[in-house]
Chains A and B, each alone.
Chain A
């Protein structure tokens, strides 16, 4: 390996090549924490030109690379298992050339999501892609996984905010994709092929992102529900009455975990089985009147049993804690996480079937449900019982996978809604994609990466 290091340190400079044990472990894995990282060394290039030179050398010497962002992924997409060279883009964290007419901004791949959100606010604009790990995740990683999060209902996914990409190919060529255009009907849109490709087709070094207006007076309602059977009615009902920004749900068990983990007050005097957290724009009295009337009607229809509403920005944030604090409050168990999606109209039925399956076959396991009802994305978390060893628990969960995915397949659902496939889900890709689709995807991979050096071993078996 040392000869390799010399080739690369000539490009990035010795101080940006990391080889010590802690760095290898840290840069070699994401938050999935299921694999033992084993990268050869870490490179921290500072420019697109450096990444291009790195890839030219890697291609010539057939050295596999793993691109690395904030490493907050949960599917093992950024894990280096087999002596790959990790290319961390964290030094490319500059935001530049804001254009107020186009409302676009150019970000290095290493810009942290929250950094872009805050930059947008300074321009009196808004970057709407948001999720619990926004304080650590990178824009480059968001693009690689087409990150979604809590505002997808209104604002869509990362894909919807990328108007230009700078891509370094396996051979080190530099491509500028779509170049910030709004309209561009000139054949295959390679930009969209790259978004969500998990670093298997090229390395994104820079992105032009578009910004939008800030939501007006976002207000949060927390609703208490006895069951989820009427939840799609609720969604339609509130969607017609107000401008929804988010429509999230969580189970009572999930709330219990947050209340135990965080020092927050109980939201309702009486417990319910499920809760819906709804955020909407409340611009003026009329919008608020309409929201209140919609609540009254829903209560009359017995679709919900109680509700709260934020009276200040502070309270809106306090209410979000009940939803956003869930992942953190169960992380120590550790949970078996499943990020799956069905059509929003089928959430209730699907959830019932899976819940039934898990309760029947794994009566000792505790299920924590939460997710984004508004876009059909559910997070099923099964908690490890205290008396069960970690390896046993992992094995039992792996056995449950095919059954859960078979139910999912019957709903035409997705085995990975927003976390990506990476290593964790690659064995199950065929539950969501047909054989022909997978063959086509593999031939695309070969076209972009003929000698399989870009994040090898991810996505496909």
Chain B
């Protein structure tokens, strides 16, 4: 099924070129990105290539391209403006001569996905649009999108190269760059921290946890020693939901045992293996089983989804919540509104032994910008990215593009990108500004946060979440700085067998883990590993390693 591209050698050379180029400018990154291990291709001497076309060349006469958008509820506009009429649309028209016409819009991400699937299947594609990785694979299989390798090479600005080159792998299928990746702020968004209710710690006279053992002792205390002092035995230690890795997540718990479920990690031999079948997972499951038996995890967690689990938090029943840095927004703030004395603090992943634990970080690329096959100006996607990056990182204009008048213009542009640590960087800057009591050097987004925290410090509890979230992000930034982040090593598009078998494998994992936690024989884990491999896991491992080997060339 795989077609050999005519100039595969040329492609490899180009790839190496791009990657080398990225290496040399890595330190200048706004956010200290460590490129994933696709760096260091040995032996190639070519220089970082400068595109030979004008990255911001204006179209004369102006062109109109079609697109589709999701305009969610959190996107607000100044009176009279809309997604088709705002500062960014005007800028794009003025600077590039590009007008974007939306064929349809939706008002929630879920709706967007549903309509997108119909759009793709009925081949009614607009010129330029956003997709997820599954859809990208669909489009690749259906040969419905342009190969952007050449135009990226020719048009991408140096700053864009700097930001995106490390991630082109995710959008490359069969050696062709089929989309421009959109990097999301995944450290603040998805990596876990351990939230602990510190007012309960105070009530019980316990110290803050430094290790996983401390945490386990705290979980037990929360369950048995009536930390809310209401004379009722109605509290328990750690929150968990029925899918295990959703929200709240047990990923952070596993990470403390150096286990990385649902992630691909490198073993000692330099190969990629699936984290979910490693022996460390078995150890963690054993501990979870103990917790379940003694009621330190809700004995009904197996039937409770996120909304139900949130109830335990907001009704003050649970003291440890493992989740991303923004957990206070949802649901911890609700508890704060109810119970002002409640206090939560974020801790980094705590280790079970003397080896420091690492927080798992998934692939930062979950969205892609694709161009319909046969479209007249495929380079427009690169130019739009160039423009966005230029106005957001180099020639910034916060009066128009920074937060103002209650709107956040950064939602508006179709083509945009961040860094995996964007929000983390903001948090660190804000923290410094608070310590110095000086907000002068902050950009508008940071200033917003600074103002909210100041209000909280003046006594307004509705901004409590902003404060603790910021603290949590500082915690993660420490881990990032100290290389305590375990990035998912597989950042390519879903492989053939992944597409066919991942539903069955996910079901297998779910059933196996849950039954062990709820009391099943721990040794069924070994059986599970065998099954996972037979059911398609070993095929997927082979494909992943083939991909990996390819990227190392």
Same complex: no
